[in-house]
Amino acid sequence: MSNLIKLPSVDIINAIDYRMECLKGKVASAIEKLPEKGEELQALVAEMIEAGKARRAIKRHATYLVIEEVAEAQHTGAAK
């Protein structure tokens, strides 16, 4: 049995937004220390791009995720 944590789509988006804010600070810090931090900067920017893609994908499917969460809650409530 896996130990997956199910979060509402809004919580996932908020977590991604928080991560992106943290990455912005690290990017700004790395920019100040160019060129010695160039490789780190490149990795941080790549991570920000991936987080942005994940956020857009979740936002695009947010209606579906909310409907699925409500249906699951109704099913669980009906089983009690």
| Mean pLDDT score, 1-16 | 69
Burial class (CB in 10 A: 0-12, 13-18, 19+), 49: exposed
The string of pLDDT tens digits covering residues 28-41 is 888 888 888 888 88
pLDDT (0 to 100) of residue 35: 82
**Strands annotated E in 1-80:** none
Identity of the residue numbered 68: E
pLDDT (0 to 100) of residue 29: 85
The string of pLDDT tens digits covering residues 26-73 is 888 888 888 888 888 888 888 888 888 888 887 776 655 555 555 666
Q: What are phi and psi of 19, to 5 degrees?
A: -65, -40
